[in-house]
Amino acid sequence: MNTQRLLTVLALTGGLGLGAYWSVNGDRWSVHAEATTAAPVVDQTPLYYRDPSGAPLWSAGPKKDDRGRDYLPVYDEDGPASEPKAKPQQANASRKILYYRNPMGLPDTSPVPKKDQMGMDYVPVYEGDDTDDGTVKLSPGKIQRTGVKSEPVERRSIRVAVKAPGTIQLDERRISVIAMRSESFVQKIADVTTGTRVKAGQPLMEVYSSAIASAAAEYLATLNSKVVGGVELYGRGSRQRLTNLDVPEPVITAMEKSKVAPVTVQWTAPRDGIVLERNAIEGMRANPGDVLFRIADTSVVWALVDVAERDLGNIAVGQPVTIRARSFAGRTFSGKIAAIYPQVNRDTRTARVRIELSNPDAALLPDMYVDADIDTADGSPVLAVPDSAVLDTGTRQAVLVDKGEGRFEPRDVKLGRRGGGYIEVRDGLKDGEVVVTSANFLIDAESNLKAALKGFADANPSPDAASDHAHGEHK
């Protein structure tokens, strides 16, 4: 090998920072190079130091491992670095890191980077993330990932739809019974059965009663008498006796015209309606008080519904109600609340509400099941927020007010009526403020987590801070 070639090899090996040695094999010289790492000069301050063997161990300052090797410095990604970085959590060099928190939300913090038992990196907490004004601050990336949505508070009418089951019942004021007031015998019955629709004045039966016949003869005797004075007064009493025996007025009028007392008296229907009950049988003997016919007018019926105790404050007499019968799909009946019964069932914790319904075609039958939808809408608009905006723990109701720039303020509110997807806010918010309507539970969890971590960090100061504090006391 010539001298020029040897100098060239020496220059290359020296310039590349290679550790080399020479060996001779006969008349030939060989160069053996061993690569070495030249540490570049770093002008930046290291973020932290990591274990040289790659173990998940870090240090805030220079340190040696148990084998005497120096921990390797780790720099910001934008600056020079000694080697590829194994940074557990990307840190912002322009902001001061206060501590690192457990990625699973456990109350565990570390003054230096660290991994948990599952190998997850601890999350850095920067200065300014924890504020003392009660707000929670999130980064734009976290807001986008969690799907946080907000909308302004507005005034709107709250429609509280109260739903309750019930049954159809007859109007108590539209039911009539035919009962005899004296001992009678049913001579003849018209072609009327249970379920027959009758008109007022329609004949139902013919009845013979000795008491009615005696009163009728006495009344006609006074009418045929030419004497006036005491006998006239006596005649008035005789007519009243017929009325007391419940003789129909048309029968009495016919007697006055014909001057003849009938053997049997024809009984007619007192109102339009349906025959609900027929107990009369031809030839039977009817004692005073026996009900022979029961007739009900079904043109107007009642819906008796059971409203839950919690909804009683939202209903009032006169509110419109929509009734849906399970027998008629798609058909609705309209009515209004006529009465709220002043009693709560102790077993079901419900109160009975009476609703009057028009039933001209007799579609609604007694004891039919129905569902009532009571419209409790109030015309006056109130301050309201969506249902999803309220964080309700049972004893505390709060919303998250969006302050902008990623800051959210938890605020207690007093709520009112609920309905239509909105809740009335009676205190705690102003018109125009913006509240979080989506992912507010995640923000609330972040707030609680930060508060817990801050309290844990205050109770457990970093080793450096504890050392400085102890050193100061020693002085």
pLDDT digits (tens, 9 = 90+) for 114-130: 888 777 888 887 766 55
Nearest residue to 375 via CA among 87, 159, 203, 213: 159
Residues 64 and 117 in one domain: yes
Q: Is the pLDDT of residue 388 over 70?
A: yes
Residues 143 and 214 in one domain: no
pLDDT of the residue at 30: 47
CA angle 15, 20, 21 (to 5 degrees): 140
- With respect to residue 465, please indicate whether it lies within any of the assigned structural domains: no
Give the separation between CA 410 and CA 396, rounded to whole angstroms.
12
Residue 15 exposed, middle or buried by CB count within 10 Å (0-12, 13-18, 19+): exposed
- With respect to residue 473, please indicate whether it lies within any of the assigned structural domains: no
Q: Is the pLDDT of residue 430 over 70?
A: yes
What does the pLDDT average to over 62-81?
73
pLDDT of the residue at 378: 67
Q: Give the count of domains, the chain.
A: 5
pTM of the model: 0.55
Residue 399 exposed, middle or buried by CB count within 10 Å (0-12, 13-18, 19+): buried
> pLDDT band for position 284 (50/70/90)?
very high
Q: What is the pLDDT of residues 349-370, one digit of tens each?
A: 999 999 999 998 989 999 999 9
Q: What is the pLDDT of residues 81-101, one digit of tens each?
A: 344 444 444 555 567 787 887
CA 95 to each of CA 34, 117, 128, 177, 356: distance values in angstroms, whole numbers, following the listed order = 42, 28, 9, 92, 71
Give the separation between CA 70 and CA 52, rounded to whole angstroms.
7
Residues 281 and 192 in one domain: yes
Residues 69 and 210 in one domain: no
Q: What is the pLDDT of residues 28-56, one digit of tens each?
A: 544 444 444 444 444 567 777 888 887 77
Residues 309 and 166 in one domain: yes
Q: Is the pLDDT of residue 166 over 50?
A: yes
Structural domain of 225: 181-289
What does the pLDDT average to over 227-254?
76
What does the pLDDT average to over 285-300?
94
- Which one of 255, 289, 323 terminates a domain? 289
Residues 186 and 285 in one domain: yes
Mean pLDDT of the chain: 78
pLDDT of the residue at 128: 60
Q: Is the pLDDT of residue 186 over 90?
A: yes
Question: How many other CB atoms sit within 10 Å of the CB of residue 149?
Answer: 15
**Hey, what are 336's tokens?**
């209004």
Residue 121 exposed, middle or buried by CB count within 10 Å (0-12, 13-18, 19+): middle
Residues 282 and 197 in one domain: yes
Q: Is the pLDDT of residue 173 over 90?
A: yes
Residues 165 and 255 in one domain: no
**Hey, what are 285's tokens?**
């003997």
Residues 187 and 281 in one domain: yes
- With respect to residue 408, please indicate whether it lies within any of the assigned structural domains: yes
- With respect to residue 468, please indicate whether it lies within any of the assigned structural domains: no
Residues of the chain with pLDDT > 90, as a percent, come to 32
Residues 51 and 24 in one domain: no
Residues of the chain with pLDDT > 70, as a percent, come to 73
Domain CATH for 210? 2.40.50.100
pLDDT of the residue at 276: 94
Residues 6+ apart with CB under 8 A from 362: 274, 298, 299
22-31, 92-101, 190-199: range with lowest mean pLDDT = 22-31
pLDDT of the residue at 207: 95
What does the pLDDT average to over 458-463?
52
232-246, 301-315, 422-436: range with lowest mean pLDDT = 232-246
